[in-house]
Structure 1
């Protein structure tokens, strides 16, 4: 597998993929509406062309934040490889922390992040009520038919 980085001026494929996976390119991140068009990131490619995973990140309020993170192939190390790339980029950009936000329904992501070493910093209870004010199309129910209510903020210290 090969990692291909992209920048804001070269992200058409990433934007298209995020739109397919997430249903939109706009995300609510800590009370702000952000767009993948303003992100950088990486795709993980195998067999020369097929995409195995995608990562987008953004610098928000001087924090290195993962915006989207998707492994398209299960149990092959794709998530770990993408996270390793995020850590490398953050370190090279002189950040000593990586932040990620997920919702209370995303139990698989919570397990992954914690196994990787992220610590749960904060739970924003009922944060999705405010997020829906910015992005009304956020569904009421998410993965496993769990009601979408809360945000979990996790942080990985790099030093």
Structure 2
């Protein structure tokens, strides 16, 4: 598994290109705000050839750190878990008590992944994706597994001080 490290300023260009390929762009909508995930702090894992193997980007507020993007190129190899733990350790070091993440109602893999790593369902934003689709009609109507893409779910992990 490739080593992980904190994102550095020189990583922002490659991260932007990675998010273009993997996410369709670096802009993520959170509560109606356009967030440039390529400009955020977080952690990166580079393969031996220098390609990005995994990435987590984070947005902090006074109470919590939020996972904005999490991506492991090779699924089920443990890198996603390592990146989540790096994010949790960073949040603790900053004195933050929670790690938050969001996903869409169709992303059953993400719901399973996060819950197995100590996250609990926190909030349902019914119709959030429908509202985003009004601003961006390119957002698909159907998501994974043919599930209508409509809602956003937040999950939270309470962090212990240790």
Normalising to structure 2: TM-score of the pair?
Answer: 0.88
Alignment partner, residue 16 of structure 1: 17
How does 1:1-159 map onto structure 2 within 5 Å? Answer: 1-7=2-8, 10-47=11-48, 49-60=50-61, 63-159=64-160
Work out the CA distance in 1 between the residues paired with 2:142 and 2:9.
32
Work out the CA distance in 1 between the residues paired with 2:107 and 2:120.
16
Tell me, what secondary structure is at the counterpart of 2:43?
Answer: strand
Runs (5+) with no aligned partner, structure 1: none
Q: 1:84 Cα deviation (Å)? A: 0.9
Contact 2:4 2:46 in 1 (8 A): yes
Contact 1:8 1:39 in 2 (8 A): no
Work out the CA distance in 2 between the residues paired with 1:98 and 1:88.
10
Normalising to structure 1: TM-score of the pair?
Answer: 0.90
Runs (5+) with no aligned partner, structure 2: none
Structure 1 pair 143–11 and aligned structure 2 pair: CA distance change class (3 A): same
Contact 2:19 2:38 in 1 (8 A): no
Work out the CA distance in 1 between the residues paired with 2:75 and 2:148.
25
Contact 1:126 1:149 in 2 (8 A): yes
Contact 2:104 2:150 in 1 (8 A): yes
Q: Across the two proteins, how many residue pairs are aligned to each other?
A: 159
Work out the CA distance in 1 between the residues paired with 2:35 and 2:63.
14
- Between structures 1 and 2, the one with greater strand share: 1
Which ranges of 4 or more aligned residues in structure 1 deviate by more than 3 Å? 7-10, 60-63, 133-136
Contact 1:28 1:34 in 2 (8 A): yes
